[in-house]
Amino acid sequence: MTRLSLARPDDWHLHLRDGAMMGAVLPHSAAVFGRGLIMPNLVPPVVTAADAAAYRDRILAELGPGARFTPLMTLYLTEATDLADVAVAAASGLVKAVKLYPAGATTNSHAGVRDFDRIAPVLERMAELDLPLCVHGEVTDPAVDIFDREAVFIERILEPLRRRHEGLRVVMEHVTTSDGVAYVRHGGPRIAATITAHHLIINRNHILAGGIRPHYYCLPVAKRETHRRALVDAATSGEASFFLGTDSAPHADGAKISACGCAGCFTAPNAIECVAAVFEAEGRLDALEAFISLNGAAFYGMAANPDRIELERVEIAQPLPGPVMVGGDAVSVFDPGFALHWRIVNKGVDL
Ligand SMILES: NC(=O)N[C@@H](CC(=O)O)C(=O)O
Ligand SMILES: [Zn+2]
Ligand SMILES: [Zn+2]
């Protein structure tokens, strides 16, 4: 198969940042994806319906007229989140999910949740509104090994939370373990998971063996190979509960190549090409459209994008996209570590 025509994909987990960084990275997502679920971990975070509307306006202004990319907004859940405001956000139609960051779990999560009992009323309201909860599923207990934090989160936080709020729909964001895959697979129709391009490709050896590679450090951190295999099997299975959320998370190279480097992989410019390579290697290109274009939309109760993209397999290895420049800073693009032979023929906008 050398050419694929697919419904335009969506990115169900995307960090666009703000200001100059947003200006630099947004065109890469808008060129390929029809919609992106925009993460709210700005500084300060996107907490209220008004914050989300203002952020959306800044994104639309940056996109300019004629763009066909639609930003779908999220709210950053805090212990002080106002129930009525969440209802307003849901009713506006602009906000499609609420994001739960355990305080301290990841980049810009200090305003997140410490005491999970305190968010019970909001979760109750969200279940009534059928507004999904997206979770960064890691515990922050320093006694828990960082490679175990997702599995422990499921047991200590997620399962009790879902028992308490049975009507709530939940997305385990950027799932990284076989535990997470199994939990979602057997969790019924109200739970789903996003899987990133990079977690389909790297395991923890890629980060640490033969020298430390800060550009492969993201959270949740990539796990051992058996877990990566579980993610590949889930993504390529075609099962409705697994779909692409790139978690494209740009940081300037200087912030990553540092004594205390930031977590995040910047994959917006080549995520689809990377995912296509993974599906091809598995002999599952037939399941690619479900993963990148259909399953996520269905979970969020939306139709698939009406327009299409074409992916072409080319003999010549495609060069790794160069870094995106933000002022004087470079933001390096995720390097899958192997040659990419897939190319998107008709993107939505020119870069
Ligand atoms: N994934 C990451 O490693 N980083 C994300 C935050 C997140 O999604 O956890 C970021 O905002 O940089
Ligand atoms: Zn996260
Ligand atoms: Zn993220």
Q: What is the pLDDT of residues 85-132, one digit of tens each?
A: 999 999 999 999 999 999 999 999 999 999 999 999 999 999 999 999
Domain ranges of the chain: 3-344
- Over the stretch 258-294, which tens digit does the pLDDT of each residue have? 999 999 999 999 999 999 999 999 999 999 999 999 9
Confirm or deny that 13 is annotated as ligand binding.
yes
Q: Is 247 annotated as a binding residue?
A: yes
207 close to ligand 1 (CB < 6 Angstrom): no
What is the rounded CA–CA span in Å between residue 147 and residue 270? 27
Q: Which bound ligand lies closest to the C-alpha atom of 37? A: 3
Cα 264 to ligand 3 centroid, rounded to whole Å: 8
Four-way CATH pick for 3-344: 1.10.287.40, 3.20.20.140, 3.40.50.300, 1.10.357.10: 3.20.20.140
- For the CA atoms of 319, 325, 329, 332, what is the dihedral angle to 10 degrees? -30
In single-letter form, the type of residue at position 350 comes to: D
What is the pLDDT at residue 348? Answer: 53
Q: Which ligand is nearest to the CA of 265?
A: 1
User: Tokens for 80?
Assistant: 């002080």
Measured CA to CA in angstroms, residue 109 lies from 60, 205, 247, 274, 289 at distances of: 25, 27, 15, 28, 32
Ligand 1 in contact with 264 (CB < 6 A)?
Answer: yes
**Digit-coded pLDDT (tens) for 238-257:** 999 999 999 999 999 999 99
Distance 47 CA to ligand 3 centre (A): 16
Q: Is the CB of 107 under 6 A from ligand 1?
A: yes
For residues 105 and 219, the answer to whether their CB atoms sit within 8 Å is yes
Residue 198 contacts residue 223 (beta carbons within 8 Å): no
Q: Is 16 annotated as a binding residue?
A: yes
Residue 165 counted as an annotated binding residue: no
* Nearest one of 174, 175, 184, 290 to 237, comparing CA atoms: 290
Q: How far is the CA of 219 from the centre of ligand 1 (A)?
A: 6
Q: Would you say 200 and 206 are in contact if contact means Cβ atoms under 8 Å apart? A: no
ipTM of the complex: 0.99
The number of the ligand nearest the C-alpha atom of 107 reads 1
Active-site residue list = 247
Residue 351 pLDDT class (50, 70, 90 cuts): very low
Query: Alpha helices, DSSP H only, in 146-269?
Result: 149-153, 159-164, 178-185, 197-201, 204-208, 225-236, 253-256
Q: Is 247 in the pocket of ligand 1 (CB under 6 A)?
A: yes
Cα 344 to ligand 3 centre (Å): 24
Q: How far apart are CA 55 and CA 322, in angstroms?
A: 28
Is the CB of residue 222 below 6 angstroms from any atom belonging to ligand 1? no
pTM to 2 decimal places: 0.98
